[in-house]
Chains A and B, each alone.
Chain A
Amino acid sequence: MNNSQQISLKERFEKQFEEHKKNLYKHDTRKVAEYRSQGYDAFRRLGFPTRKLEDWKNTDLKKALETDYKQEFELTHEEVNVEDLFECKVHDFDTEISSLLNGWYVYTDSPLKKLPDGTIMGSLAKAMKEYPDLVDQYYGEAFRLEQNGFTAMNTAFAQDGVFIYVPDNVKVKRPIQLINIINKNENIFIQNRNLVVIGKNAELTMVHCDDSVNHNISFTNSLTEAVIGENAGLDHYKLQNLNNNSSLINSSFFSLEKNSRLKANAITLNGGLIRNNIHVSLNGENGAADVYGVFLLDREQHVDNQVFIDHRMPNCYSNELFKGILDEKSTGVFNGHIMVRKDAQITNAYQNNKNLLLTDEAKMNAKPFLEIYADDVKCSHGATVGQLDKEAMFYLKSRGIDADKARTLLMYAFAAEVIEKISIEPLKVRIDDMVKRRLRGELSVCDRCVLHCSEPEKEIEFDIDLSKI
């Protein structure tokens, strides 16, 4: 309950670092090793964030950090068939699957795969051995940009994760689905590191799922660095469906080079405590970033979305839209920080956060923050917190729809604005269905990949016919 226990978790990690040093540095390239040492020093200095820090004011980690967690410093599962553990394939949604089990890459045939188009996909630890130059060229940007307790800790402690490299001019056909599975009978602390590099003129779609398999307590400190090359594009979907005993710190760093595009969409269906740290750097001219999110919370769930958009160069565009529905005693945070640097003339930056509170006890804390140093800038921001529209409720009821169904329809309609933005049709249909189920209270943590937990109503024929209207 007090500070000393937090310090003690920190101390315990310091002890473990010394104890497992050999393992920790085992796969490192020279540069990664350097970062690891720096990360460790920074972690010792910074520790876990507390509510005294401005950007942690509304998220209390105290309870989550009281637990005694164990991290796996060695790969304990040499070969696991993920499909045995977790059914991932979705019949109408063909993806390339890569999974992490408790933070370690899981493989059936090879730890590092080369797809026919030249794309490399697999374990980061393995990539450090086989493609050290590639890793060194891109690794560590996140740590340079944002030194906080969790990026530092991840840099010090992460040993594995997913590595994806898309060569120049390659448009990866099948989306890559990255699945983080937590399955441990002890309280586990997971720190994985993902590195995604997209070459010039290349394109990639990623679907990133955070799922828990059981109801044990866990803490994940996950960090993803994605570098989007000149004229390249990344569609990044994040789906979170975790148990109420889980804490997840999820940091994503996106760097956009000249003329590149990012579409990020974070969909939170369930989770105990989730912190999404999204950092977008527009490093070249004409970059475009759409950053969307929707979160559906109930019970005592807490989601904290921190979005930082850094306009460093002229002629870039960013658009944020985050929508939250908070039921029961759930709490949410949205902090959107837009930075427009001196050189970033002709910037267009938009931000919008809308929230629905379904009870008096649910709370939402929204704070936009614009920091503008250029003069030719178009910026807008808005945040609303409201209840379900009474007029609309009555309109629906006056057509025979009962209060429960009317509420669900309106909540769904509210979330739909974000779901509409999903450009992959089968994925949209899935997510759409999951959101509906979630709103009807039918979706919780399941023993399969969240994409698989629900089957959209089979009305395909019906849907086709509708287009004639």
Chain B
Amino acid sequence: MLLNIKNLHVEIDGKEIISGLNLGINKGEIHAIMGPNGTGKSTLAYAIAGREGYEVTKGEIIYKGENILNWEPDKRANEGIFLGFQYPVEIPGVSMTNFMRTAINAQREYREQGSISGKDFLARMEEKKKLVEIHTKLTSRSVNEGFSGGEKKKNEIFQMAMLEPTMAVLDETDSGLDIDALKIVANGVNLIKNEENAFLIITHYQRLLDYIVPDFVHVLYDGKIVKSGGKKLAEQLEEQGYEWIKEEFERVS
């Protein structure tokens, strides 16, 4: 198993947000996580990426056979974990090129490869830009600064394509996108996907799943996965909303 999350409990400021979550992902699989707002989807994503302040009080996250809870976020990234942010951060003054080159070189250093040559780096930038249909120059632009909502999301997929992760977690990359941008994002994912990597796609709507076909769909509610199924489950959620899940959950507990 590539990623195995066992009985995960996560607290923010002493408040438990994720309470006993289990999830296993194999190479080559696409998993989707759906759920109403405020149920802990982003919290789960941050916990996987290792964000400070997201305290794991119980359980483990096993990645490639190792418990990664003590790893710094940069180590997790260099080992192949990627988080596509729900709200990508603007960093004025850091150009996209400088950012990406620093990231690629950090990864290469970690893997004991030499720095990337200017030429190779440029070629890679060009290739990946095409993949997500970014047409503007990135040299002169600061990271996400002045990017439209859609551009920011495309930029996340672009970074993912540049870094070629093994385990990609995409947190609501589809929200706020028009249908064209949505297709571009989905297309990016489909092109990157292979038998050696896996995706965890967090989404609020099932429309993204029309373009990225998941192997499994999970419903997150109140910090736990309360239901799992195939693509059909996503369609059912789209038609019936989350109310029935809530009711079912409340009845059980």
Residues of A within 8 A of B (CB): 389-392, 394-403, 405-406, 409-410, 412-417, 459, 461-462, 465-469
Contacts of A468 in B (CB 8 A): 122
Complex Cα gap A401–B110 (Å):
10
- The listed residue (A392, A398, A410, A459) touching B49 by CB distance below 8 A is A398
| Chain B residue nearest in CB terms to A413 | B93
Question: Is B138 within 8 A of A401, CB to CB?
Answer: no
Residues of A within 8 A of B74 (CB): 397-403, 406
B118 near A: Cβ within 8 Å? yes
The answer to whether A409 and B98 touch across the interface, beta carbons within 8 angstroms, is: yes
- Contacts of A398 on B, CB cut-off 8 Å? 49-51, 73-74, 76-77, 82-83, 85
B137 to chain A, nearest CB (A): 5
User: In the bound complex, do residue A409 and residue B118 qualify as a contact, i.e. CB atoms below 8 Å apart?
Assistant: no
Q: Closest CB-CB distance, A435 to chain B, in whole Å?
A: 12
| Residue of A with least CB distance to B81 | A398
Q: Provided the pairs A409-B102, A413-B142 are in contact, do residues A399 and B93 lie with their beta carbons within 8 angstroms? A: no
Residues of B26-81 at the interface with A, using a CB-CB cut-off of 8 Å, are: 49-52, 72-74, 76-78
B97 in complex: contacting residue of A403, A412, A469, CB < 8 Å:
A469
CB contacts (< 8 Å) of A400 on chain B: these are: 74, 77-78, 103, 106-107, 110, 163
B99 touches A399 (CB 8 A): yes
Option from B83, B102, B139 in Cβ contact (under 8 Å) with A469: B139
Chain A, residue nearest B91 (CB): A392
Tell me whether A403 and B72 are in contact (CB under 8 A).
yes
A401 touches B72 (CB 8 A): no
Q: Which residues of B contact A409 (CB under 8 A)?
A: 94, 98-99, 102
- Find chain A residues with CB under 8 A from B102 CB: 401, 405, 409
Complex contact B51–A394 (CB within 8 A) = yes
What 1/0 flags go to B114-133 for Cβ under 8 Å of A? 00001100100110010000
Beta-carbon contact of B142 and A399 below 8 Å = no
Q: Give A133 to B126 CA distance when docked, in angstroms.
A: 63
Asked if B52 contacts A394 (CB within 8 A), the reply is: yes
Q: Is the CB of A462 within 8 A of B88?
A: no
B176 part of interface (Cβ distance < 8 Å):
no
Q: Is the CB of B119 within 8 A of A399?
A: no
Residues of chain B lying within 8 A (CB to CB) of residue A397: 50, 72-74, 77
Chain B residues closer than 8 Å to A469, beta-carbon distance: 97, 122, 125-126, 129, 137-139
User: Taking the complex as formed, is B89 at the interface, i.e. its CB lies under 8 A from any CB of chain A?
Assistant: yes
**8 extra interface residue pairs, beta carbon distance < 8 Å, beyond A398-B83, A400-B74, A459-B118:** A400-B106, A402-B74, A403-B74, A406-B74, A409-B94, A410-B94, A416-B93, A469-B139
Would A394 and B73 count as touching, CB distance under 8 A? Answer: yes
When chains A and B are docked, how far (Å) is the Cα of A403 from the Cα of B77?
13
Q: In whole angstroms, how far apart are the Cα atoms of A468 and B139 in the complex?
A: 9
For B183-200 the 0/1 string (1 means CB < 8 A from A) is: 000000000000000000
B150-180 interface with A by 8 A CB criterion? 159, 163
Chain A CB within 10 Å, residue with most, of B97, B102, B110, B129 = B102
**Residues of chain B contacted by A396 (CB below 8 angstroms):** 91, 99, 103
Min CB gap A8→B, angstroms: 48
The smallest C-beta distance from A409 to any residue of chain B, in angstroms, reads 6
With contacts A394-B51, A395-B88, A412-B93 known, is A405 near B126, CB below 8 A? Answer: no
Quick check: A399 and B91 within 8 Å, CB to CB? no
Are B77 and A399 within 8 A (Cβ)?
A: yes
Contact (Cβ within 8 A) A390 B103 = no
A-side contacts of B97, CB under 8 Å: 466, 469
Decide yes or no whether B92 CB sits under 8 A from chain A. Answer: yes
- Taken together as a complex, chains A and B put the C-alpha atoms of A94 and B130 apart, in Å, by 41
Nearest chain A CB to B69 CB, angstrom units: 16
Bound-state Cα–Cα, A68 to B118, Å: 55
Q: Which of B73, B85, B122 has the most CB of A within 10 A?
A: B73
State A468–B137 Cα separation when bound (angstroms).
8
Shortest CB-to-CB span from A464 to chain B, Å, is: 10
> Which residue of A390, A401, A465 is within 8 Å of B106 (Cβ)?
A401
In the assembled complex, the Cα of A468 lies from the Cα of B74 at a distance in Å of 30
Decide if A405 touches B88 in the complex (CB within 8 Å).
Answer: no
With A and B bound together, what is the CA distance between A410 and B92 in angstroms?
A: 9
Q: Smallest distance from the beta carbon of B89 to chain A beta carbons, Å?
A: 4
Q: Tell me if B103 and A401 are in contact (CB < 8 A).
A: yes
Q: Return chain B residues, CB-CB under 8 Å to A405.
A: 102, 106
> Is there an interface contact between A417 and B93, defined as CB atoms closer than 8 Å?
yes
- Pick the contact of B92 from A395, A417, A466 — CB < 8 Å? A417
Residues on B with beta carbons closer than 8 Å to the beta carbon of A459: 118
Contacts of B94 in A (CB 8 A): 409-410, 412-413
Separation in Å of the B81 CB from the closest CB of chain A? 8
Give Cα A392 to B139, complex, Å.
19
The 4 closest A-B pairs by CB, nearest first: A413-B93, A462-B118, A400-B77, A397-B73
Of all chain B residues, the one with the shortest Cβ separation from A464 is B118
Determine how close the nearest CB of chain A comes to the CB of B126; give it in whole angstroms: 7
B103 contacts across to A, CB distance below 8 A: 396, 399-401
Given A397-B74, A399-B159, A402-B74, answer yes or no on A467-B98 (Cβ-Cβ < 8 Å).
no
A395-B85, A397-B74, A405-B102 are known contacts. Are A413 and B92 too (CB-CB below 8 A)? yes
